[in-house]
Chain A
Amino acid sequence: MKGFITAFYVEMIKALKSKMLWGTFIFFGFIAVMLGFLMLAAKHPEITGKSEVLSMKASMISNPNWATFFWLLLQMVLTVGSIGPAIVTIWVFGREYSDRTIKDLLALPVSRMNIVLAKFSIVFIWSLFLLFLLYGLGIVSGLIIHLDGWTRDLFIQKSQAYLLSAILTIVLFPVITLITCISRGYLLPVGLSVLILISTQFVFLGMPGITPYFPWAVPGLCSGVAGPFSPKPEVISYIILGITSISGVVGTAIWWQHADQH
């Protein structure tokens, strides 16, 4: 346990001292504020002035109320929310290869397993914080612009859906971690993350029959944003998602423990 705590502390220091942490906070905060601005533009079309792009986007929101805003936030957690943890894990693990500091972590009294687990923990907490930031600032934006239709039940129901979607989205990041470690860099995992995002949309639109079995589509099914006619997640959906996540964790641990590290 001492090894894990030490490794976790060190990883935390590395994250807190990095520009990446603050960069991701600003990015997710900006998205939340922009969502609020979009709702404001939908409520008051006159404020977009002559901007056709903003007017067009705002006009897509026919009912600028809390129900629509929560739906937008859920959409965000399923799209940007899946890219966020991917970027964080690519950085936390990939930087050791790009900065060539990996060799400093391989022959220490702290086991490699503890270092890997500490890194996973940091990525999970960081990602969760980003998605909470998105939600929290989103709610604040909605309150500031006085959206209509707030009810306690709506808030609790949508918050539960958001939390579940966020956690299910985040736990899939170890697959990206494994690819980061195997490729020893940033390019391949970034490409894979984008591919997964596109594939998930494709699965929803083109092959709705397999959505319950495609791990990255499961959070979308759970959130309810796919609509009332979309398939419901089954027990097997959660099992597939869990196996995918655990495969990433175990694969990464095995890679660190046994693969030649250059």
Chain B
Amino acid sequence: MQPVIQTEKISKHYGRLKAVDNVSINVQKGEIYGFLGLNGAGKTTTIRMLLGMISPTSGNAFLNCKKVNAGNPQMWRNVGYLVEVPYSYPDLTVRENLEIVRRLRFIDDVKSVNNVISLLKLNAYEEVKAKNLSLGNSQRLGLAKALIHNPDILILDEPANGLDPAGIVEIRELLKDLAGNEGVTVFISSHILGEISRFATRIGIIHDGKLVHESSVDEMVNLRKVSLHIQTHDMESTAKKLGENGIPSNITDEGIIEIRDPDAISKPEKIATLLVQSGLPPCLLKVEEEDLEAFFLRVINMKGGEK
């Protein structure tokens, strides 16, 4: 099956700065692709290249198997997008801003504005000028502009910015519904792995312009580190006793013995028995799974995780 969204060794260089470097991504129909990275990692630059707003230094981008070309307006007919902070015409109301988008997208159905206002729960603000909207409602207006024409492809750059927790859940459920029931392909960038992993089907992590990790969310869960954490009243003796029994361990900065041996992790009761019999009863014994934040930081080789 041909990918709906594709980049082929795409790069964007600004002088010596490699904002995006040889990034190849394939997103299939109906997938929600979470594009993760820190600020300045290259997420927005990649999205701008996907939308034809900037030209790649090398490589190509494709949407629906067509090479992205700023001169071909037809290719944007079924693409909805939101890039960075969604700004609108400040002196126009929410409804007027959406009416402009409706006309520029050649949508004949005048009800589409009402529908998208209801969908994004903007009814109370439809006559409010864009300049008077809160950040959260500006974000909703931006999403409304991206969704007004029921696109097949949604490219969203940090759409959760400024939304309150309820709003984040709402948008998450909306995107899940669009992908799952309508077959919409969603490409969504974020810097919060924990949030994205809740609804994305696949995750790509970009760092310093390079795609450093790509996997399904299920695979990513399996890639997370698991370790057995132990605390006793005599940590040095405990570590020594474990070593004598062929169980490698180390004492972390937090003063916890960490064991990564898969056999020990799968049968912690054996460790407990060993320590009790050795006169070193554990006051803490638990299997610890690496959280998503630590996984993300480890992948991009930053403080907070190990390579």
Contacts and interface: CB of A to CB of B under 8 A. Distances in A.
A7 B73 CA distance: 13
A3 B73 contact: yes
B101 interface: yes
B103 A260 contact: no
Interface in A144-160: none
Interface string B78-101: 010101110111111000100111
A104 B53 contact: no
Nearest to A13: B100
A104 B103 contact: no
Contacts of B83: 103
A104 to B, nearest CB: 7
A10 B70 contact: no
Interface string A1-15: 011001101100110
A106 B104 contact: no
A76 B177 CA distance: 62
Given A10-B104, A106-B53, A262-B54, A101 B88 contact: yes
A59 to B, nearest CB: 44
Interface in B91-124: 91-92, 96, 99-101, 103-106
A109 B91 CA distance: 24
A110 B51 contact: no
Given A107-B79, A257-B70, A260-B53, A18 B87 contact: no
Contact of A110 (B73, B85, B99): B73
B71 A111 contact: yes
B92 to A, nearest CB: 6
A14 B100 contact: yes
Interface residues of B, number: 32
Given A109-B76, A111-B73, A7 B91 contact: no
Given A10-B104, A103-B53, A108 B73 contact: yes
A100 B96 contact: no
Interface residues of A, number: 29
B181 interface: no
Contacts of A19: 91
Contact of A108 (B71, B89, B104): B104
B266 to A, nearest CB: 51
A13 B85 CA distance: 24
B103 A109 contact: no
Given A106-B52, A106-B53, A109-B77, A101 B104 contact: no
Nearest to A261: B53
A258 B70 contact: yes
Nearest to B93: A17
A18 B92 CA distance: 8
A112 interface: yes
B52 A10 contact: no
B104 A107 contact: no
Interface string A96-118: 00011101111111111000000
Given A17-B96, A18-B91, A19-B91, A104 B52 contact: no
B106 A6 contact: yes
Contact of A109 (B74, B89, B99): B74
Nearest to A260: B54
11 contacts: A6-B104, A10-B104, A14-B89, A101-B88, A103-B83, A104-B145, A106-B51, A107-B52, A108-B76, A109-B77, A257-B70
Interface of A: 2-3, 6-7, 9-10, 13-14, 17-19, 99-101, 103-112, 257-258, 260-262
Q: Which 7 A-B pairs have the closest CB atoms?
A: A260-B54, A100-B87, A107-B76, A111-B73, A107-B51, A109-B77, A261-B53
Given A109-B73, A110-B104, 10 more contacts: A9-B103, A13-B100, A99-B87, A100-B85, A107-B51, A109-B77, A110-B73, A257-B70, A260-B53, A261-B48
